[in-house]
């Protein structure tokens, strides 16, 4: 097999809070291949955004600390790079679409200037040309009146339009890896489909995508492989079809069961119990108190991430049983 584009190993990230040390990400590792779309799903608060941001050293510190971990990209460990070196890579070779549009957009500057600025940093493009390119990109994103939109301020755009400006910003420089954190939550299904078409085209060229999303329909349509996180840990990894056909971890199975249907009369299903607090995750398997299949061992011992056949991994003692 060829060398992966990015290889993350044993990432541990904590936040020092007044109530104690919060272990947001606890030993997560995976790799991203070239030209692939890798999905990352999991419960709200389980550490997806923190994982993504750590790979680009974007964790606010303090209170955040990367306790361990390596992110090898092209032979270099991103986590130990200097700010100077990271700036060369961020934006140009790896770009990030943030969950919150306003972390990437300044409320005080016009959209066109903000996009043009991205080129200014990375190339010697003239301002006029950069603005023209900005207009083109807004058009590609399906924003009406792109010529007008470049002179607008972010608050004059709808939520989904802001999100698309940010997507444009991340894609413009034709990066090798795009880390997309909930890129389409503010988009209607037709507009979102159009954006994914575009991502699909880019990927045919050479771009890989790490896609964090709660929309399992989008995962089904767009991803090649999927990672599932629960309570700061990776609990499952599988090719996308396999994941939906035969989940190898009870959390995944219960999550898939919770997908709402189009039937108003059907009672909504939610996994029993509460999302555990990152300040004190349960001992043993972190899912044990909510797991319908838990048995004695699950309370005491933490299951390792078992390697199964077909490129799958699962952190459940019964992993083999689920896929047989």
Partner 1 sequence: MNPEPLLTVRDLKTWYPIRRGVLNRAMGFVRAVDGVSFSLEKGRTLGLVGESGCGKTSLGRSLAGLEVPRSGEVLFRGEPVPPGNRRGKIWHKRIQMIFQDPFSSLNPRMTVMDIVTEGMAEHGMLKGSREQAAREVVSRVGLDPDAVFRYPHEFSGGQRQRISVARAVSLNPELVVCDEAVSALDVSVQAQVIRLLKRLQEELALSYLFISHDLAVVSTLSHEVAVMYLGKIVEYGPTAEVLHKPQHPYTQALLSAVPRPGKEKTHRIVLPGEPPSPARPPSGCRFHPRCPQAMEVCRSVDPDARTRGPVQVWCHLY
- Which DSSP string corresponds to 33-47? -TT-EEEEEE-TTSS
Q: Say whether residue 17 binds ligand ATP (CB under 6 A).
A: yes
Residue 23 binding result from Mg ion, partner 1, ligand ATP, none, given CB thresholds of 5 to 8 Å by partner type: none
Name the closest residue to ligand ATP (Cβ): 160
User: From the list 72, 125, 186, 323, which residue makes contact with ligand ATP (rule: CB under 6 A)?
Assistant: 186
Kindly state the smallest distance separating residue 66's Cβ from ligand ATP, in Å.
13
Q: Say whether residue 164 binds partner 1 (CB under 8 A).
A: yes
Q: Alpha carbon of 92 to those of 87, 211, 278: distances in Å?
A: 9, 18, 34
Residue 303 binding result from ligand ATP, Mg ion, partner 1, none, given CB thresholds of 5 to 8 Å by partner type: none
Pseudo-torsion of CA 228, 34, 170, 184, nearest 10°?
-40
Kindly state the smallest distance separating residue 230's Cβ from partner 1, in Å.
10
Six-digit token string for 145: 């009146």
Q: Say whether residue 304 binds partner 1 (CB under 8 A).
A: no
Answer for the pair 289, 254: CB distance below 8 angstroms, yes or no.
no
For ligand ATP, which stretch binds (CB under 6 A), given 42-50, 74-82, 121-129, 195-203?
42-50
| Long-range contacts, stretch 216-219, CB < 8 angstroms, 24+ apart | 216/41, 216/244, 216/255, 216/256, 216/259, 217/259, 218/184, 218/192, 219/39, 219/41
Cis omega (within 30 of 0) for bond into 161: no
As a whole number of angstroms, the longest Cα–Cα distance in the chain is 67
Q: Say whether residue 304 binds ligand ATP (CB under 6 A).
A: no
111-122 helix and 127-140 helix, angle to the nearest 10 degrees = 120
Six-digit token string for 323: 């896929």
What is the per-residue binding string for ligand ATP in 85-124, x denoting contact by CB under 6 A?
A: --------------x-------------------------
For partner 1, which stretch binds (CB under 8 A), given 116-124, 130-138, 218-226, 291-299?
218-226
Q: Say whether residue 48 binds ligand ATP (CB under 6 A).
A: yes
Q: Say whether residue 19 binds partner 1 (CB under 8 A).
A: yes
Answer for the pair 55, 78: CB distance below 8 angstroms, yes or no.
yes
Say if residue 177 is exposed, middle or buried (CB neighbours under 10 Å; 0-12, 13-18, 19+): buried
What is the per-residue binding string for partner 1 in 252-291, x denoting contact by CB under 8 A?
A: --xxx-xxxxxxx-x-xxxx--xx-x-x------------
Residues near partner 1 (CB under 8 A) are 15, 17-19, 41-45, 48-49, 60, 63, 99-103, 139, 142-145, 148, 151, 156-161, 164, 182, 185-193, 214-221, 244, 254-256, 258-264, 266, 268-271, 274-275, 277, 279
């Amino acid at each position: 097999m060829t060398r992966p584009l990015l290889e993350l190993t044993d990432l541990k990230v904590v936040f020092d809070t007044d109530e104690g040390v919060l272990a947001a990400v606890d030993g997560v590792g995976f790799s991203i291949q070239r030209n692939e779309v890798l999905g990352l799903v999991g419960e709200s608060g389980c550490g997806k955004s923190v994982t993504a941001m750590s790979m680009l050293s974007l964790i606010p510190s303090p209170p955040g600390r990367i306790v361990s971990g390596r992110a090898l990209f092209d032979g270099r460990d991103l986590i130990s790079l200097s700010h100077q070196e990271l700036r060369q890579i961020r934006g140009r070779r790896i770009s990030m679409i943030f969950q919150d549009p306003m972390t990437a957009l300044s409320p005080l500057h016009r959209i066109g200037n903000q996009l043009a600025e991205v080129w200014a940093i990375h190339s010697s493009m003239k301002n006029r040309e950069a603005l023209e390119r900005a207009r083109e990109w807004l058009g590609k994103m399906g924003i009406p009146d792109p010529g007008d939109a470049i002179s607008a301020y972010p608050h004059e755009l709808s939520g989904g339009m802001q999100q698309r400006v940010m997507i444009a910003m991340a894609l413009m420089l034709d990066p090798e890896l795009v880390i997309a954190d909930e890129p389409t939550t503010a988009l209607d299904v037709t507009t979102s489909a159009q954006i994914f078409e575009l991502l699909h085209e880019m990927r045919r060229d050479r771009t890989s995508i790490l896609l964090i999303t709660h929309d399992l329909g989008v995962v089904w349509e767009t991803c090649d492989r999927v990672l599932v996180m629960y309570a700061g840990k990776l609990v499952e990894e599988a090719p996308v079809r396999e994941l939906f056909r035969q989940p190898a971890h009870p959390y995944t199975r219960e999550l898939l069961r919770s997908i709402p249907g189009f039937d108003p009369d059907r009672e909504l299903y939610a996994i029993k119990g509460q999302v555990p607090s990152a300040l004190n995750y349960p001992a043993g398997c972190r899912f044990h108190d909510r797991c319908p299949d838990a048995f004695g061992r699950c309370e005491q011992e933490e299951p390792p991430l078992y390697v199964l056949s077909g490129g799958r991994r699962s952190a459940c003692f019964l992993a083999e049983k689920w896929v047989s």
